[in-house]
Amino acid sequence: MTLKPIPQDPRGPRAFFGRRAGKKLHKGQQALFETLLPELSLDISAPFDPRALFPDAKHIHLEIGYGGGEHLARMARENPGDGFIGCEVFTGGIGKLLETIDTEGLRNIALFPDDVIKLLAVMPDASIDLLYVLYPDPWPKPRHHKRRLIQFPVLAEFARVLQPGGTFRFATDIEDYANWTLAHVLRTPEFVWPISAPGAWHTPYPGWVPTRYEIKARRQGRSTSFYFEFFRTDRTNER
């Protein structure tokens, strides 16, 4: 594979662009915004340690842009001994997840309803074990590519907060964004991409359950997805 040069942004991580509001929240969701969300929201007025937030957790997970929260809630349900942090700015998605948390009594989830760049900035080194970016906004127009979440400065932050050997999962059904992400990650020495076989990146992760977005994409004719799994290198081997 020949990789074309990609310029780095000297300004560092930029604001994450995402839709913040859609349809008006229904009465129940609005009530949860006023009662449950303040209980679950992270306070980043000072640096915080996810390990202190979930002191008994075996692993700490961070999902960025969780949409309606189906994946995040399922993982929290199936792994009650782990701690989960979800970052999402879209009020409709936050409302759906709050309903699930309230209905199921999930108590191993914390939320950050704001720009993930702000959250990453206050997180300690090597403080999480798994990081997910699943079906992010692809910003398909070339003039909007600068708004994509996957950029070199953001990948540097991902690498910083992940434990050595930690996992970064990225999924998309947009081939251009898949190529973009792969080109960026392969130029980030803190990550490795272990390929088992050609085309293996089309195989979903073990235990994967399609999200509502993925099901909708299939109905619209986007039948191919890319499921990348990258690993944080051992810090002693960094270049």
- Report how many domains make up the chain: 1
Let me know if residue 13 belongs to a domain.
no
**Looking at the chain, which runs of residues are DSSP E strands?**
60-64, 83-87, 109-112, 128-134, 162-172, 191-192, 226-232
Structural domain for 104, as ranges: 31-237
pLDDT in tens, 57-83: 999 999 999 999 999 999 999 999 999
How confident is residue 239, by pLDDT bands cut at 50, 70 and 90? very low
Q: Are strands 60-64 and 83-87 parallel, antiparallel or unpaired?
A: parallel
Let me know if residue 112 belongs to a domain.
yes
Residue 207 region, left (φ>0) first, then alpha (ψ -120 to 50), else beta?
A: left
In the chain, the percentage of residues whose pLDDT exceeds 70 is 88
Let me know if residue 19 belongs to a domain.
no
Q: Is the pLDDT of residue 9 over 50?
A: no
pLDDT in tens, 141-174: 999 999 999 999 999 999 999 999 999 999 999 9
Contact 181, 228 (CB under 8 A): yes
Instruction: Identify the residue with better confidence: 105 or 211.
Output: 105
Contact 41, 87 (CB under 8 A): no
How confident is residue 4, by pLDDT bands cut at 50, 70 and 90? very low
Let me know if residue 148 belongs to a domain.
yes
Q: Is 137 an active-site residue? A: yes
CATH number for the domain harbouring residue 214: 3.40.50.150
The pLDDT, as a whole number, for residue 230 is: 98
The pLDDT, as a whole number, for residue 102 is: 97
Let me know if residue 12 belongs to a domain.
no
pTM of the model: 0.89
The pLDDT, as a whole number, for residue 159 is: 98
Instruction: Identify the residue with better confidence: 197 or 61.
Output: 61
Average pLDDT over residues 167-186: 96
Let me know if residue 22 belongs to a domain.
no
Of 82, 129, 137, 173, the catalytic one is: 137
Tokens of residue 171, six digits: 């999924």
Name, in order, each residue with C-beta under 8 angstroms of 3's C-beta and a sequence gap of 6 or more.
183, 186, 187
Let me know if residue 164 belongs to a domain.
yes
